[in-house]
Amino acid sequence: MRTDAAECDDEGPRMTGPITSLKMLGVSEAATPPVSQSPVRYRYSMAVAVRKDLVDVHRHAWEHIASPGSWWTGAQRVRIAEIALGAINADDPLPPWVGLSSSDRYSDDGVIPSTAVDITYRIARHAGTITESVYESVTTDVGELPYVELCTVVSMVAAVSTFHRNAGLETPALPTPKRGEPTGERPDKLAAAELNWVPVSAPADQVAAVVQAYTAVPSGHEVTWRLGAAQYMPSEEMVHPDWVRRADGLTRPEAELIAARVAQLRECFY
């Protein structure tokens, strides 16, 4: 990466875990170079200048994933991220009705429950097929708040990995998990929402469904919206149809065109 945008060639931790072959997750190793066993390097193989705020927020998301969450350890969160990354990059993905844990692509070592393995893969690759009955079934096993945290990890992985692919860059390797127990952090008060299946920080339904969706897991909510601010626009600017990040940058309708097309391809019609 050219250094006019950011100084970001520091080494980070290494990817670990039993998923030692991308083929285990249905990924063609020849066609999909993003995941590597080498140290995290924000030094890109192509000469593409990336804004420093993007580099910083993506690196922060990776570090966040490696840290203990509210309900999952760092090792569990990195495992969720590995599965998500494999699902996103799979050239021959499992169909949504086949659980990764019951396939020959995954070796279950008990780091996360099989229900979490399967829903991680499905959200990462087939999110449009998640229904309320799926949600209810999964949360009976893993719990509502751990489920929300799992969703935050999967969606962050989608953001970071697809940005790099879109821009023609190598996705940084996943980080080494940090030690520590889950924090148990939660909002002072939770509420059932009319606009979401998941519980949210009280009071519910005072903001848009997507804005409140992750509020039951405060740290995941915060990092998600930091990503959104750098990748799309700061939330406080969304009411301004003329907002642009910089002169000669994307106009608001241009950004919305991209957003609408990606959402349409993902069959997400929120």
> Under rule CB under 8 A, which residues in 4-33 are in contact with other proteins?
31
Binding to other proteins (CB under 8 A) within 143-162 occurs at: 148, 151, 154-156, 158-160, 162
Minimum CB separation of residue 109 from other proteins in Å reads: 25
Cα–Cα distance measured from residue 44 to residue 91, given in angstroms and rounded to the nearest whole number: 23
Where in 109-128 is the site for other proteins (CB under 8 A)? 123-124, 127-128
* Rounded CA separation 123/15 (Å): 22
Among 35, 74, 42, CA closest to 219: 74
Given 70, 101, 196, 201, the residue binding other proteins (CB under 8 A):
196
Q: How far is the CB of 156 from other proteins (least distance, A)?
A: 7
Residue 29 near residue 21 (C-beta atoms within 8 A):
yes
Residue 171 C-beta: closest distance to other proteins, Å = 11
Residues 39-68 that bind other proteins (CB under 8 A): 48-51, 54
Two tokens, residue 15: 């990817």
Going along the chain, which residue ranges are E strands?
190-191, 200-201
On whether the CB atoms of residues 115 and 188 are closer than 8 A, the answer is: no
Tell me how far, at minimum, the Cβ of 60 lies from other proteins, in Å: 14
Tell me the HSE value of 79 on the side-chain side, using a 13 A CA sphere: 22
Residue with Cβ nearer other proteins (111 or 148): 148
Helix, strand, coil percentages (3-state) for the chain, rounded to 5, are 45, 0, 50
For residue 6, the one-letter residue type is A
Q: Which is nearer to other proteins, 98 or 130 (CB)?
A: 130
Among residue numbers 208 through 267, which ones bind other proteins (CB under 8 A)?
208-210, 213-214, 224, 227-228, 230-232, 238, 241-242, 245, 248-267
Within 73-112, the residues that bind other proteins by CB under 8 A are 91
Q: Is 149 helix (H, G, I), strand (E, B) or coil?
A: helix
Q: Which is nearer to other proteins, 110 or 249 (CB)?
A: 249
Spatial separation of the C-alpha atoms in residues 20 and 188, rounded to whole Å: 41
Closest CB to other proteins among 181 and 194?
A: 194
> Among 195, 218, 219, 226, which residue interacts with other proteins (rule: CB under 8 A)?
195
